[in-house]
Structure 1
Amino acid sequence: MNKVMLSMLLLLSFLFFFHGEAAVPCTTVDAKAAACIGFATGKDAKPSAPCCMGLQQLAQTVKTVDDKKAICRCLKAGAKSLGIQDRFLSKMPQACNIKVGFPVSVNTNCETIH
């Protein structure tokens, strides 16, 4: 489950850009980002199709700023323990063809997202 949360960190940047609904639970974030762990940790050369699809689906669930912040928190919770690397994380938006509108990083302050 921690690996899934790390993948969620990758989704962090994607989710902030999109609009959604009520606060998204970490279980949903974990499920949608699980396939991204390999790329986020540098084990896979590129994000898999299931990774990008999960990120796009997760982004579509975001309807409020609180949703964005909740997803960010979920992602950051597992990032350190999973070994997510910024150099791979920052490539996720372009690799999955998702526009984020801000730098993607494990150091993103979830509370300043708007």
Structure 2
Amino acid sequence: MSSNIIPTYSVLVLILMSVCFVLANADAECEDVNSNLLIPCEGFLMSGGDSPNTACCNGAQIIDKQFQESDCPDREAICLCLKNAAQTLPIDLQKAAKLPALCNLTYISIDPNIDCSK
């Protein structure tokens, strides 16, 4: 019976380590999203700005490229950061929907209803 406990315990430890890695990775991704996209784009996304400034588009393109070059857990973390921002911050969702076209983004969007598992 004790031989069954050790493999079960090992699997549990591996699962917990994976969850911790994903959560730590998500925090790092959100820091990048905040500093590169949300803060520079605040004037456009949350205020009265008519168009995104250069810093906004440059930062958004950094996140877009990071998303493109990342593996699935990092992509999901980036997506969840953007989704959470859209759900919790006073972002003008109509402006957010225009951001990809205005800044030449291919992969990312700020959408409260996006399915980040895909």
Instruction: Say which structure is richer in helix.
Output: 2
Which residue of structure 2 aligns with residue 108 of structure 1?
114
1:12-43 per-residue CA deviation (whole Å, 9 max, x = no partner) reads: xxxxxxxxxx8652111111111112212252
Q: Output the CA distance in 2 between the equivalents of 1:67 and 1:93.
A: 20
Residues 32, 104 of structure 1: alpha-carbon distance in 2 compared, 3 angstrom cutoff: closer
| Unaligned residue ranges in structure 2 (runs of 5+) | 1-24
- Normalised by the length of structure 2, the TM-score is 0.64
Identity %: 30
Residues 58, 81 of structure 1: alpha-carbon distance in 2 compared, 3 angstrom cutoff: same
Structure 1's consecutive aligned runs of 4 or more residues displaced over 4 angstroms after TM superposition are none
How far the C-alpha of 1:65 sits from its partner, in A, is: 2.4
Q: Output the CA distance in 2 between the equivalents of 1:104 and 1:76.
A: 6
Residues 106, 85 of structure 1: alpha-carbon distance in 2 compared, 3 angstrom cutoff: farther
From 40, 43, 52, the equivalent of 2:45 is 40
Which residue of structure 2 aligns with residue 49 of structure 1?
54
| Partner secondary structure for residue 35 of structure 2 | helix
Higher relative contact order structure (alpha carbons within 8 Å, sequence separation ≥ 6): 1
Q: Output the CA distance in 2 between the equivalents of 1:27 and 1:96.
A: 20
| Unaligned residue ranges in structure 1 (runs of 5+) | 1-21
How far the C-alpha of 1:107 sits from its partner, in A, is: 1.4
Report the structure number with the largest CA radius of gyration: 2
1:38-94 per-residue CA deviation (whole Å, 9 max, x = no partner) reads: 212252100110000001111222322222210111122233332112211110011
Name the stretch that deviates more: 46-55 or 28-37.
28-37
Q: Output the CA distance in 2 between the equivalents of 1:105 and 1:73.
A: 10
Corresponding position: 1:79 with 2:86: yes
| Partner secondary structure for residue 105 of structure 1 | coil
Kindly report the root-mean-square deviation, in angstroms, between the aligned alpha carbons of the 2 structures. 2.3
Contact 1:42 1:88 in 2 (8 A): no
- Normalised by the length of structure 1, the TM-score is 0.66
